[in-house]
Amino acid sequence: MKEFFGLLKKGNKPSLTAAIINTFIAIMKGVAFFFTGNVAMFAETMHSIGDAANQYFVFIGSALSKKAPTKRFPNGFGRLLNIVLLGAVLIVGVMAYETIVEGWHQLTEPVEAEGFIISVVVLSIAILLEFFVLYKAGKEILHEAGVKGGAMAPLTTSFAHLNRAKPATKLVFLEDLVATAGGVLALAAVLIAHSTGFLQVEGAASIAIGLMMLYVVGKVFMDNARGAIGETDEQMVNHIAHILTDHPDVRDIRELEVVKEGEFLHVETKIEVDPHLNIIQADALQERLAEIILSQPSVDDVIVSLDADDGETHWKHLSKRPDQLHKN
């Protein structure tokens, strides 16, 4: 139990922040739905419950994925985060289904809701809180990508670097992006229904929110399915290949693999060097190369093997040097 709580301290902080805030939002929306019966509010309640549950799972999964390798699991627990996320998105999927069904009922058999002021106030507060979480997640994406920007960068530049973010941070960002947009949509639906009497708009908004939730389910599921199988990080392969080929003692790269292990990267490479190096020189070079690779962003495990240069060029698919990456 002591080890478990110790690992929790290493959990993804944006997901914990988002989970706590979404718990409060879900309770607030649930109470509002109880008093108003507003279908758009029901959709938002389901959305916030799904987000909160999801983010608690993500936080715990990200913490457990940092558990040290054991004799039984020598490769560590990095991919545990991907497995947890695959299970977590199912919750959002169920909530999305319920949201769409309830929206369809309101669309086909509209019912007038009560408590207009309550709905407007609750949704307005929720939008501000969701926007705060979205902004914080955007800042974390920039931090993880090693990118600096101005005050608006977390809401603009972060989209361009979304693929460089950790899986948990990416999930929080996508969920709260949809949550913020869904809140605005629900608020607009409540205002239109109240001012025009067109009650079906609340059902349409509920269905739209459910479809946005399904988009997040599909996006996160595919990303983490690839991660659970073991996906190559092509950008980091190119980055490390440039570092190795620029090193004066490296003649050629025979093999280079960079595989995502949850939030971290596993690097395995075979390098060709001067065949006249003695054992001491080769050992020192092997350690230097491992240290250089290990200092790169998110790299947690490195295996460097050396081989004598055979005079042939093996590594030919070196692409244009990527932007400079920074160590987190």
pLDDT confidence tier of residue 272, bands split at 50, 70 and 90: very high
Task: Write down the pLDDT at residue 114.
Answer: 79
At 11-38, the pLDDT tens digits run 778 888 888 998 999 999 899 888 888 8
Among the residue ranges 44-58, 113-127, 172-186, 271-285, the one predicted with the least confidence is 44-58
CATH of 1-229, one of 1.20.1730.10, 1.10.1370.30, 1.20.1510.10, 1.10.510.10: 1.20.1510.10
Closest CA to 237 of 313, 170, 291, 317: 317
Band of residue 1 on the pLDDT scale cut at 50, 70, 90? low
Residue 282, exposed/middle/buried by CB under 10 A (0-12, 13-18, 19+)? middle
pLDDT band at 323 (very low <50, low <70, confident <90, very high): low
Same CATH fold assignment for domains 1-229 and 234-308: no
Position with higher pLDDT, 12 vs 5: 12
Name the residue ranges covered by the structural domains of the chain: 1-229, 234-308
Residue that wins the pLDDT comparison between 73 and 328 = 73
- Looking at residue 128, its pLDDT comes to 93
| Region 69-94 average pLDDT | 80
- Top mean pLDDT of 85-89, 114-118, 247-251 is at 247-251
Strand partners, 305: 270
- The pLDDT value given to residue 244: 92
Read out DSSP for 158-220?
A: GGGGGGGS-HHHHHHHHHHHHHHHHHHHHHHHHHHHHHH--THHHHHHHHHHHHHHHHHHHHH
Q: Does the pLDDT of residue 325 top 70, yes or no?
A: no
What's the pLDDT at 91? 79
More confident residue, 87 or 5: 87
| 86, 227 Cβ separation under 8 angstroms | no
CATH class, range 234-308: alpha beta
Average pLDDT over residues 182-205: 90
Which range, of 52-56, 305-309, 316-320, averages the lowest pLDDT?
Answer: 316-320
- When pLDDT is cut at 50, 70 and 90, the band that residue 93 belongs to is confident
Residue, of 48 and 192, whose pLDDT is higher: 192
Q: Report percent pLDDT > 90 for the chain.
A: 22
pLDDT at 251 over 70: yes
- Average of per-residue pLDDT across 211-220: 86
- Category of 37 on φ-ψ map: left (φ > 0), alpha (ψ -120 to 50) or beta: left
Q: For residues 259-277, give the mean pLDDT.
A: 87
The better pLDDT of the pair 4, 54 is held by 54
Query: What pLDDT does 316 receive?
Result: 73
Q: Amino acid identity of 121?
A: V
| 175-187 mean pLDDT | 88
Q: For residues 227 and 186, which has the higher predicted lDDT (pLDDT)? A: 186
* pLDDT for position 135: 92
Residue with tokens 């199988």: 229
pLDDT at 328 over 50: no
Identify which of 230, 234, 240 has the alpha carbon closest to the alpha carbon of residue 325: 240
For the segment 141-162, what is each residue's pLDDT rounded down to a tens digit? 888 877 888 888 888 888 888 8
- The Cα 161–Cα 328 span in angstroms is 14
